[in-house]
Amino acid sequence: MSRAAATASDAPHIPVLLRPLLAAVAPVAGHWLDGTFGAGGYTKGLLAAGADHVTGVDRDPLAFAMAAPWVAGFGDKISLQEGVFSKMDAYAQDLDGIVLDLGVSSMQLDLAERGFSFMRDGPLDMRMSQDGPTAADLVNSASEADLADILFHYGEERASRRIARAILAARPLTRTLELAEAVASCLPRPKPGQSHPATRSFQALRIAVNDEYGELVGGLEAAERALKPGGLLAVVTFHSVEDRIVKRFFQHGTGGAGNANRYAPLSEGPEATWEPVTKKAVGPDEAELSENPRSRSARLRVARRTAAPPRANDPRALGAPVLPGKRR
């Protein structure tokens, strides 16, 4: 482990919305899967709340290297699986519950060498799995049109075309601060309290590099296959597109196709695969915001699996942007 990684492992990592999550899924028991293991905060919380065993899944090998000193103390209560959560049903079945904490982890952001942050100079990487094409490969090879599409659809960046032109003019780009400066050079200086000009661009590129929306849709479907009837799925999102995908996935899973018009005979849709537990998204309370400012955009949704057979979903129907070359 590098000195930077060791330093990051010593920093406190606060699992977002853990208290409301545990309250929504109580009583906790049986076999759970933590699909985004990270620093292990949710896994520890689930075990403390009563889970018999937690399978921790993460595509970042650093997560397990950092967890090694404390995981052994839990004996056979924790098992670790390197991989993506879209394949979780290959790692475990008949689960009592699943937790997904989406997006980039604090330990990844805090390590400059991982290239996720526009606040720290490092190689333009952004790969969660530390494998495959990097963000540098993407920004230095993509066309202006493709870059603009990625920035707009994945980062909801309104100035996507202007930023794409600035990136092409600044290529080649190999460092995070180089990219941040290229983005900021074509945008107005932020007012006090506004986010950094490169925030949305870095989000968009990170999502594209790691195919996060494809993973999310695949992970929700895998959870539907892996949970036993009555099993619970809790998902924590950090921006509007993620939350929309999760919300629509649960809505589509409640069953009932509805009627084309009020005079047509009542039509029956597919059997419901989910029952809602949280009626709407749950955000952080004032206490959590004060102790963990990074939680401000977090939203929690929870649903319970029925006994109905799993079904496939159209990513577009769930509000998931699907760009050319990323079709599922």
pLDDT confidence of residue 213? 95
pLDDT of residue 270: 77
φ, ψ of residue 267 in degrees (nearest 5): -105, 145
**Least confident piece of the model among 49-53, 106-110, 267-271:** 267-271
| Nearest in space to 306 (alpha carbons), one of 258, 254, 246, 269 | 254
Q: Where along the chain do its domains lie?
A: 3-106+213-305, 130-209
> pLDDT confidence of 325, banded at 50, 70, 90?
low
State the pLDDT at residue 223: 98
Residue 3 pLDDT more than 70? no
Res. 286: pLDDT tops 90? yes
Q: Return the pLDDT at 110.
A: 82
Q: Please check the confidence at residue 250 and state whether its pLDDT lies above 80.
A: yes
Instruction: Answer whether 308's CB lies under 8 Å from 272's CB.
Output: yes
Q: Quick count: other Cβ atoms within 10 Å of Cβ 2?
A: 11
pLDDT for 268: 59
CATH architecture of the region 130-209? Orthogonal Bundle (1.10)
Mean pLDDT of 261-274: 65
Report pLDDT for 105: 79
- Residue 328 above 80 pLDDT? no
Q: Is the peptide bond before 172 cis (omega within 30 degrees of 0)?
A: yes
Check if the beta carbon of residue 44 is closer than 8 Å to that of residue 51: no
AA letter at 250: F
Residue 184 has pLDDT above 90, yes or no: yes
Q: Poorest-confidence range of 54-63, 81-90, 105-114?
A: 105-114
Q: Has residue 7 got a pLDDT over 50?
A: no
Q: Which residues make beta-bridge pairs with 55?
A: 33, 79
The whole-angstrom separation of Cα 139 and Cα 148 is 11
Neighbours of 82 (CB within 10 A): 15
Residue 8 structure tokens: 């990051």
CATH architecture, domain 3-106+213-305: 3-Layer(aba) Sandwich (3.40)
Per-residue pLDDT at 297 exceeds 60:
yes
Residue 259 has a pLDDT of 43
Looking at residue 10, its pLDDT comes to 45
Give the per-residue pLDDT at 266.
44
**Mean pLDDT, the chain, whole residue set:** 90
Indicate the pTM of the whole model: 0.89
CA 198 to chain centre: 20
Short-list 207, 243, 221, 223, CA closest to 104: 207
pLDDT reported for residue 6: 39
Amino acid at 277: V
In the chain, % of residues over pLDDT 70? 90
- 5 vs 241, more confident: 241
CA atoms of 35 and 38, how far apart (whole Å): 9
Mean pLDDT of 86-113: 92
Mean pLDDT of all residues in 303-314? 93
Residue 113: C-alpha distances to residues 25, 121, 167, 189, 317 (Å) = 37, 8, 21, 27, 37
Q: How confident is the model at residue 312 (pLDDT cuts 50, 70, 90)?
A: confident
Query: HSE of 112 in the Cβ direction (CA atoms, 13 Å)?
Result: 10
Q: Are 258 and 267 in contact (CB under 8 A)?
A: yes
